[in-house]
Structures are given as structure tokens and as C-alpha cells.
Structure 1
Amino acid sequence: MTRLSILRRLALSLVLSLAMAPAGPVLARSAVQTPAVQTAAAPTQVALSAPDRRAIDVSVWKAADERAVIVFSHGFNGHPAAYDGIIAAWVEAGFTVVAPLHIDSLRHPLNAQADGPSAFMTRIIDLATVRAFVTAEHAGQPIVAAGHSFGSLMSMIAGGAVTLAGPQGDPAVKAVVALSSAGDLKGVVTPESYAGLTTPTLMITGDEDLVPQYVDDWRAHRSGFDRSPAGGKMLLVFEGGDHSLIRNADAADFDLIARASVAFIEAHVLGEPRALEALTAPEGVTIERR
């Protein structure tokens, strides 16, 4: 079997798995949801040209006092603006957020033409193109790779994780923030996939983070933490947190997610190790470090 056929096979398996994820939010820890404290302002839209000649629609939320740039990859079928709460928190903290609209998004004009292999491969191309854009337009600023679900897998790949597609890591990525990972996807993620994930990585999940028919044990979402080399790794687990936690968390949980992600970036990217010292686990949340 050729490398290309292997890549197409694993990509199709991945996308079919993630397509089964709930499209809408499910209740997280609290029965009554409290909206996030803020939403992001309208982004600037930038059109980038991919090496395969596609146009990549990119949303840019520019921080007034920029300290780093977060390249964000949305979940399967999603879109960047669906995460406006956490984006607003990151921008306020001084992190510009740059997020492409992937072709598997229901808002993408080519969505009807997207199959499994193209969704996987074009995401890799999209994110590499965006990181090159960030390097040119935000010279000298460190880059963080972040994402949700399918996007979190892409972010960990940029941080050094290796799927059957082979190594696609980018040394420009100084930290990874993985929100509800894609789990242990058969045919895509192997037991050795995270051995190369040496980049500092924050993972956030919950003990109800399930994908019907595909992820029936939430612990699959912590594999990147458990199987990667120790050093610079942190895991937050929310009691009752589901696969849409980043979008449906109550105010207290959202605040902790925002504070933890900002402090993690400050500690591991901006050279401020004391940023994490005050981070403690409230009732219903566990914090692990390796």
C-alpha cells in the first residue's frame, strides 16, 4: 500500500469518526447554563492562497497589546466564530487569534465537495499556510497551536504527534492547547502517536466527553497527556464535562478554562513560570501535571 493510499484511508476513518460527534451542545456540569462573560469582536478577514491553489478564508482577532499568536483549528463541521467566548478571553490576554475556515465546515462553500481524505489533508495544508502567514505578518511573536476536537488533533500534530500520515510537526509551535481531543481514533492514532509530542501541551476534557459509537470511554481523550514524554504537560478534567464543554461551560468552568490556558501560555511560551502557581482545582475539577 502506498503512502498516499494509507493517508487517504486514515483520513477517511478520522472524518467519519468525527462526523458522529454531537452537532449541538449537551449539558455540562451545571443544569442551568450561564453565558460566557464576553464575546469576541468581529474579526478581520484575510484570504490566503494555499499551495494547492485553494483560497483559505482566515479570521484574525488582533490583540491590542500582542504577546503571542494562537493559530486555532475549529471542530469538524464547525467554524471559528463558534468559539468567540474563549477567543475573546485570549485576545484580552494579549494573544492574537488566527483561525482558518476548513473545508469540512458547514459554512465553507466547498463543503459539499469535501470527503474524508480531503478534509484531513487540507487541514494540514491550511494550518501550515496560516503559520507561515503568522511568521511573516507577526514577526518575532511566538506561535501557539490550539484547537477543539478534530482541531485539537491537528494542533497536537503540529506540536510533534505523529499519525499514520507521518511527521508534520512545526518547530515554530511553542505550545499546544487541546480542547476535548479527538480521542484514540482507530486507524489514525496509534499507541506511539504521542511519543513525539514534546511541545508543552495543555489538554482539557471532562468525564462525560463521549462521542456515541466511537468514543465510549472519556479516558481516550487524555491519551496525549498520558502517552507523551513528561515535561510541560498539564491536564484539566471537569466532572460532567462533555465534548462541547468549551462552548457550553457555565461561567465558573469557563473562567477556569480561560485562566488555565492563558497561564499555561504565559508559563511555557512567555517565560513566566509563576503564572501557573496560583492555579488550583476547585471542587469538581482535577488538575494533573507531568
Structure 2
Amino acid sequence: METNKSNLAGIPAITPVISFSPIIFPAPGRGADLELRVSAPAAGTNLPVIIFAHGYGSSLNGYAPLVNFWAARGFVVIQPTFLDSRTLALSQDDPRVPLIWKFRVEDMKRILDELDMIESTVPTLKGRTDKTRVAVVGHSFGAQTAGMLLGARIIGGDGTLGEDLSDARIKAGVLLTPAGKGGEDLSAWAAEHFPFMNPSYAELTTPTMVIAGDQDISPLTVRGWDWFTDAYSLSPGANALLTLFGGEHLLGGISGDLVTETSDENPDRVAIVQKLTWAYLRSALYPEDSVWSAACAKLKADSSLLGKIDQK
């Protein structure tokens, strides 16, 4: 899903994309093999990499509006299917369920460990990626997954700081509607069912963009939509916040076209997410590229403004 409205400066034209799935490889201790989709430009070399963490219940087949946009403009995008995917249908009494958040992080690290194998498996991709320029992006539960690779930690029930699961191979990230502070900010239901939803963002030092919608009212928190901006306000690494006016949790439809869970379907809103995430990651991985500053200036000047950028 793309639109010609809200064009932002410096965004390149699309190129053909190859998409290859499933790539399946063993994951000892996981209870199921790890399955991936890889989408990449059909041509080009030294291609940067995005590893994408889907939201709760989705799979490697989701988020086509974002994945296709990034891949058509120079990124190799890797999408795992996590254990919480509806396609795997784990029962709630499965012993893995309480630690699904950690299995997710382990899956992402396994992908980082196996980048050479993944590249060799996809037809025509071998030798074309730049493994020194790797970013993570995640939506919702996936934003929590991505955030931990960027440096966020979990505060335990006794107030102690949990394990550092960050990875130095990750150079930048984007968090789409990430959970905010835990403790008293959680609803009683969320505190009971998601004890891991108690992040500390003070340790997140990797360059990160946060995106939130100002109509994203969640049963997970007793606060309003601003709860989803905590990763920006509380993290030294998060240096950009995109607030989408009228945006709800799916940010206009980033999980797919005509997906029933999207309650705020808006192609122009999706287009801004597509373009600004691409521009942010491009400049974060290639500091000499000014596309991010140009895109921000264009958004600010746009008379049909759908959102705003804050930076620090």
C-alpha cells in the first residue's frame, strides 16, 4: 500500500523485489524450527539489513506495506515467525508461554548469528548484504522485542534490573507503538497477565526512532496514548519521535491492506510511516546521507500534515 500524497524529499523510486519463504532452520530448545521470510532488492550490493519483529499473533507473512516499501528501496528485510503467532497456535498452558518475550529475543539473536546462512539460502542474494549495517524494527509486542536488542531492560518484580540482552551488531532501530512504563502505569489486567511489561529505557543508548498515534488508547495502561511515547522520553538513545495525528495502534494499516484489525485505515498515514522509517534508518546507518533531515523538513512544511516530529 503506497500513496503519492505526502511525498517526502529524498525517497528513491522503487526497484523490483524478491521475496523468499519459508527459510527453516533448527532452533534447539525452542520446541519448533524457526521460520523466516526474506525480502530484498533484486539488484544491488552492500545492502543494509532490517530484522523485523511482528506484533503479537502475526507471522512472517504480515506487515507487507512496510516490508515491501523498505525492500524496494534498498534494504534486505528479514521476518521471523515467533512462538506467539496464531499460525503456531500454542495453548496458553504451554510451558513456553511465560517466557515467549525471551524466546523472541533469542530468535532475533539467532538470525544475527546466521546471517551468512540466510544470505546463502536466498537465490541471488549471496554476497550482496552489508552485515555491518543492521537495524531492528518492531511493532507493539515486537517493539518490546526490538527494544531489548537496542538496550532496554526489564525491571523485575523486586525492582532489580533484568538481564542485558542488547546486541552490538544492531546499529539503529525503530519502535512502533512500544509499551510504556510498568508498575502503577499498567492496568490491573496487564499487570496480572504481562509481568514482563515493566521496561527500563534508561539503558537504551542505540539510535532509535519511536512512533505513536495520538488516538492509541490501550487496555494495557491506565494512562492515555502518551504511554506509547515513554521509550522516547525515557531513553538516551531514542532521538526521534513521530506522533501521528488520529493514529491508533495499527498506525493506519501497517500490518496489511484491508486487515480487519485495523480500525484507523488511512493510506496517507501508512505512507508517512513507510517514508519516515526508511529515511531515519537510512541516515542512521549512513550518517553522511541527509535524507532524514530533508524528510523532516518536508513533513513540517506539508500543508496536509498528518503528524509531527520531535527530536533531541
TM bucket, shorter chain: 0.7 to 0.9
Match of residue 21, structure 2, among 44, 48, 65: 44
Is the contact made by 2:65 and 2:274 (CA closer than 8 Å) also made in structure 1?
no
| Cα deviation code 1:27-62 (max 9, x no counterpart) | xxxxxxxx5459986533211222425410111112
Aligned ranges 1:130-149 → 2 under 5 Å = 130-134=111-115, 137=119, 138=129, 140-149=131-140
Greater RCO, 1 or 2 (C-alpha within 8 Å, sep 6+)? 1
Report what 1:212 is aligned to.
219
Structure 1 residue 258: deviation in Å? 1.2
For residues 1-290 of structure 1, the aligned pairs below 5 Å read 35-36=1-2, 42-52=19-29, 54-64=32-42, 65=44, 67-108=47-88, 110=90, 113=94, 116-134=97-115, 137=119, 138=129, 140-164=131-155, 165-186=162-183, 187-190=195-198, 193-214=200-221, 216-229=223-236, 233-245=239-251, 246-247=254-255, 248=262, 249-279=265-295, 280-281=299-300, 282=302, 283-290=305-312
Name the aligned partner's letter for residue 288 of structure 1. Answer: D
Which protein is richer in helix relative to its size?
A: 1
Task: Pick closer, same or farther for the CA change 1:203–1:41 going to 2, 3 Å.
Answer: same
User: Which is higher, the Rg of structure 1 or of structure 2?
Assistant: 2
Displacement of 1:208: 1.1
RMSD: 2.5
Deviates more, 1:267-276 or 1:198-207: 267-276
CA contact (8 A) 1:266 1:272 kept: no
- Equivalent residues of 1:207, 1:242 under 8 A apart: yes
Write out per-residue CA displacement over residues 119-149 of structure 1, whole angstroms, 9 at most, x where no aligned residue: 1121121111011112664463411111100
- 1:104 counterpart SS class: coil
- The structural deviation recorded for 1:190 is 4.7
Unpaired segments of 5 or more residues in structure 2?
Answer: 4-13, 120-128, 156-161, 184-194, 256-261
Rounded Cα–Cα distance in structure 2 between residues aligned with 1:107 and 1:41: 23
* Counterpart code for 1:259: K
Amino acid in structure 2 at the alignment position of 1:201: T
Task: Indicate how the Cα distance of structure 1 residues 82 and 111 shifts in structure 2: closer, same or farther if over 3 A, else same.
Answer: farther
Find the residue that maps to 1:243 and give its secondary structure. coil
Q: How far apart, in 2, do the equivalents of 1:101 and 1:157 lie? A: 18
Q: 1:50, 1:125 within 8 Å by CA — same for their partners in 2?
A: no
Distance 2:132 2:311 in 1: 26
- The count of residues paired between Structure 1 and Structure 2 equals 254
- Give the match's secondary structure for 1:61: strand
Q: 1: CA distance between counterparts of 2:130 and 2:282?
A: 19
Identity among equivalent positions (%) equals 26
- One-letter code aligned to 2:177: S
How far did 1:109 drift?
5.3
The answer to which of 204-213 and 104-113 deviates more is 104-113
Distance, in Å, in 2 between the alignment partners of 1:93 and 1:276 is 15
Query: Which residue of structure 2 aligns with residue 13 of structure 1?
Result: none
Q: Which runs of 5+ in 1 are unaligned?
A: 1-34
